[in-house]
Amino acid sequence: MTGIQPIRVVLADDHAVVRKGIREFLDAEEDIQVVAEAADGAQAVALVAEHQPNVAVLDIQMPVMTGIEATRQIKAEHPDIRVLVLTAYDDDPYIFALLQAGASGYVLKTADSGELVHAVRAVHRGESALDPAVAQKVVQQLTSGRPLGAQASVEALTDREVEVLRLVARGLTNRAIGQELGISDRTVQGHLANIYGKLNVGSRTQAVTQALKQGWITIE
């Protein structure tokens, strides 16, 4: 591999043990080099700007900024940098929100190390890398005759999702929203993912803006 530039990777996951494990088997490959690690989405965006990697490997559920918001920001600011999402979730709203945000690949954490290495190489080549279960959902969506996220324009939010969005519009954090509604942070994150998928957006600001346009919420 002498003389060939390695694929430079920024890795983001809020669990240090997970990051360590992923870094070890990526760095074990001669053609891949992890240049920086982030513990949250905002840090990931900053490190991508600083290091200009070829590929950003992001978890979805991260503090400060979700992987969906981070993906959207990275692609807006650095369109040539590929984003590969590594996550425990294969829920439709996450998949479609991330693909719409510009992610090139979506690999589940249940994948073995070889699959992740293959996915990093694939997205670096400009190809997409989707876990088979994820790819099947995308194909089903496409063969339904609707583009990704098309259901979002007609699918109304549930009462609980509207409650969450009203609190988001007031500037509350996920933790504060959870305390207000008596639910966990993770449940709030799940509601936000559903909202993003339904509204075909990738950030809290866009979700609030869209819901205002639809007349579902008002700013107090």
Q: Which residue would you say has higher pLDDT here, 131 or 15?
A: 15
Q: Which residue would you say has higher pLDDT here, 42 or 99?
A: 42
Q: Which residue would you say has higher pLDDT here, 219 or 181?
A: 181
Q: What ranges in 106-203 are assigned the alpha helix state H?
A: 113-124, 132-143, 159-169, 174-181, 185-199
The CATH architecture assigned to 150-214 reads Orthogonal Bundle (1.10)
Q: Taking the mean position of all CA atoms in its chain, how far away is CA 27?
A: 23
The CATH architecture assigned to 7-143 reads 3-Layer(aba) Sandwich (3.40)
- Please answer whether residues 93 and 74 qualify as being in contact, where contact means their C-beta atoms are separated by less than 8 angstroms: no
- Please answer whether residues 89 and 43 qualify as being in contact, where contact means their C-beta atoms are separated by less than 8 angstroms: no
Alpha-carbon distance 177 to 170, whole Å? Answer: 10
Q: For 70-86, write each residue's pLDDT tens digit.
A: 998 999 899 999 999 98
Q: What are phi and psi of 118, to 5 degrees?
A: -60, -40
| 150-214 and 7-143 share a CATH fold | no
Q: Which residue would you say has higher pLDDT here, 152 or 34?
A: 34
Residues 87-106 have a mean pLDDT of: 75
Lowest mean pLDDT among 64-78, 115-129, 202-216: 202-216
Q: For 47-63, write each residue's pLDDT tens digit.
A: 999 999 999 999 988 88
Per-domain residue ranges of the chain: 7-143, 150-214
Tell if the pTM clears 0.85, that is, is over it. no
Query: Does residue 210 register a pLDDT over 50?
Result: yes
